[in-house]
Amino acid sequence: MTDAHRESSGTFLTLALSGGGSRAMAFHLGCLRALNDRGLLDKVRVISTVSGGSVIGACLAYWGAEFAEFDRRMVDILRRGFNGSIARSVFFSGETPKIFATLLLTALPSFALGALGAVLSVIRVITRLPTRRLESGLARLSGLLPIWGSLTTAFENALARTIFGDTVIKDVRWKGVEVIINACDLRTGTAFRFGSEASGGWRYGRIEDNHIPVARAVASSAAFPLLLPPLIQKFSFVRGNRTSAQKVVLTDGGVFENLGVTVLEPGRNSGISVNSFNATHIISLNAGAGQVGGESSPFWWISRVKLSFETIHRKVQDATYSRLHQYARNGLLKGFGMVYLGQMDEQLPYASPDLVRREQVKDYPTNFAAMRQADLDALSLRGEQLTHIILDRYLSTL
C-alpha cells in the first residue's frame, strides 16, 4: 500500500509489541501471522516495541524480507535462543577484554566505594556525625568510573553479529513504516526512545546524529535489569537552539512501560515529546501472563519482590488500557484492540474448540533461552487465534 493510499483512507494504524523475552517473541510471531493473513501489516504506519518485542519488531522492520522468509528466520532464532551467542561474545569477541577490564578496574572500586558509603551511613545514623556530603561524593565518584564492557554490550555484539549487522536505526526496510524502540533512562526515570525519524527523550531533547546501530537500540530496550546491566552511552542532544552532551543510563523499556503504547497515545505535545503521532487505530500485542492464580505464598525475599513487581506492572498496564478504551469511547481513537496472552479464555467474545488455553502458555519464562518447538508452536498459535478473535470483535472495519 502506498503512503498516498494510506493517507486517503483516513486510517493511521499503529502497532505495539510488548516485552516478555522469548515468550513475547513467539506470541507476537503468531499475532503477526494473523495480521499478515488479514492484509493489515501493509497498513501499519508506526511500530512501537519493547524488550523482547523489540527483537522481533526490529527483525520485521529492518530485514526487509518477505513475510514467509521473516517467519522462517524468526522460528530459527527462537529455537536457537541467545544464551550461546551472548556467551561467545563475552568470552571470544572484542568485548572480552573490555568486560574483564571493567570487572577489574571499575567493579571492584565501585563495590569498595559503595561499601564505604554504607558504613558512613550507619555511622551517621548512630553517631549523628555529618557524613552525608561525603557519602554523596563517594556516590558521584563511583558514577565517574568507566564502563568499557558488560553483559549488555556482549548482548549488543551478539545481536549485531547474528541478526542486524551494522544496520542503523534510520535504515528501515519495511516501506512507509516508522519504528520506535523503547528503553528507559535510569538517570531520570523517564522513557528514552530510539526512532527511525528521531531519537531521544523529553528530558534531553533529540539526538543530533541519529546514526545509531539497531543492535544497540534493541539491546538497550531488552536489558532486563535483574540480569543485564544498563547500557551507558553519551549522546549530543538538541533542544531548541541548544546542543549539549549528556550521558544516559539505559535499561529495559518495560521498566517504564512494558506495552509500548504510551508513545502512540493521542494528545502528546510535539513541542515536548520527541515522538508523537496522530494515530487513529492502535493494536496492542501483550505477552503478559495476566492475573495471578493465587497458588503461591510469597513470604521469602525473592518471591515477595517478584510478586510485588508483577502486581505493580499489571496495575500500571490496567491504567494504560483504561485510558485507551476511554480514548476510543471519546472518539480520540477510531479503534483499539488488545491481543493479550493472559486473557481469561471464558471472557473472550468466542473461542474455537482448538483454542490454545491460557494455562498452557502463561507460565513460559521471559528469558532468551532456546525454545522447544512444542512451546513455540503453542505460544504462536495462541497469538494467531487471539488476534483473529480481537480483530473480528473490535477492528472489523480495518
- CB distance 123 to 179 below 8 Å: no
The DSSP string of 105-140 is IIIHHHHHHHHHHHHHHHHHHHH----HHHHHHHHH
Give the integer Cα–Cα distance in Å for 350 and 332. 28
As a whole number of angstroms, the longest Cα–Cα distance in the chain is 73
CA distances from 285 to 38, 214, 319 (A): 16, 21, 16
Cα–Cα distance, 279 to 333 (Å, whole number): 7
Look up 51 and say whether it is catalytic.
yes
C-beta neighbour count of 276 within 10 angstroms: 17
Instruction: Provide Rg for the chain, Cα atoms.
Output: 22
What SS3 class is residue 51?
Answer: coil
Q: Tell me the three cell numbers of residue 383.
A: 497469538
Write the DSSP symbol of residue 197. Answer: S
Candidate list 85, 252, 284, 380, residue with the active-site label: 252
Contact in structure between 364 and 23 (CB atoms under 8 Å): yes
Instruction: Write the burial class of residue 27 (CB in 10 Å: 0-12 exposed, 13-18 middle, 19+ buried).
Output: buried
The one-letter amino acid at 342: G
According to DSSP, residue 357 is labeled P
- The 3-state DSSP class for residue 211 equals coil
- Contact (Cβ atoms closer than 8 angstroms) between residue 190 and residue 202: yes
Q: Return the residue matching grid coordinates 559503595.
A: 114
The 3-state DSSP class for residue 363 equals coil
Going by the DSSP 8-state scheme, the letter that residue 35 receives in this structure is H
Residue 207's alpha-carbon distances to 233, 248, 304, in angstroms, are: 12, 11, 39
Which one from 51, 85, 199, 380 is the annotated catalytic residue? 51
3-state SS assignment for residue 172: coil
Describe the chain by its helix, strand, coil percentages, rounded to 5: 50, 15, 35
Which of the residues are catalytic? 51, 252
